[in-house]
Amino acid sequence: MSATRLLLLGVVRTHGQANGHLVNAELESWGAGKWAGLKPGSIYQSLRQLAREGLLDAGEIHESPERIDYKITTKGTAEFLRLLRSALSRPDHRPETLGAALALLPALPRKEAIALLRERLRAMEAEHAEILDRAAGRGEPSHIRELLGMQAWSTASGADWARGLIARLENGDHVMADEDDRPAGTAPIPKP
C-alpha cells in the first residue's frame, strides 16, 4: 500500500477540490515530506496518475500544469476508505502508511476507528505471542534471539500505543467524521 496514494486521496477529499500546490502545502504543514518521504514533483505526478485511474477528476486547467484542480470521484472515495481502514487495522504496513492513516483518522466515525484499532491490537498481540513462542521454543543462535527480542519489543510497544489511542478515542479525544457538520476529514477550525 502506498502512503502517498492514501495521503493524496485524503487531502483532496478533505478539501473537496484541490490543486497540486494546495495538496503540497497541506502535506508540508503535516511534515509529510519527512515522515512519508514525499517530494513536490512526486505529488504532481501521483495526482495525474490517480486521475488516469479514475480516482480523481481533473478539472479546470489554469496557466500551468500544476494548476489542475482535482476532485475525488466515487471510486476514489471507496479506494481512500479501503486504504485508510487497512492501514489502521493491519499492523503489517510500513510506518509511513500508519502515519498517513493517523493524519486522516478524523475521516472515520469514532466507533469505526476504535473497531479498526482493536482489530490492529488483536493482530499485534497474536504476533507478539508468536515471537515470544519462537524465542522460547528453539535453540536460536544468539544474534537471532536479538532479532526476536527487538521484534517482541517493537510489537509490544505498538500494542501499547494502540491501547492508548483506543482509550483516548473512547474518552472523546479528536473530532471525528460523525461528530459535526464539517466535511469528513476536515481539520477543525480553532475557536477564538
What phi and psi, each to the nearest 5 degrees, are found at residue 104? -110, 10
Q: What is the pLDDT of residue 192?
A: 36
CATH of 3-103, picked from 1.10.357.10, 1.10.10.10, 3.30.1360.10, 3.40.630.10, is 1.10.10.10
Task: Please list the ranges in the chain whose pLDDT falls under 50.
Answer: 187-192
- In this structure, the number of other CB atoms found within 10 A of the CB of residue 89 comes to 19
DSSP strands (E only) in 7-68: 18-19, 56-58
Q: What is the pLDDT of residue 189?
A: 39
Are 100 and 87 in contact, with CB atoms under 8 Å apart? yes
Q: What is the pLDDT of residue 1?
A: 54
Cell of residue 63, nine digits = 496557466
CA distance 20 to 4: 13
Q: What is the pLDDT of residue 63?
A: 66
If you search the block for the grid coordinates 497540486, which residue do you land on? 20
Give the pTM: 0.87
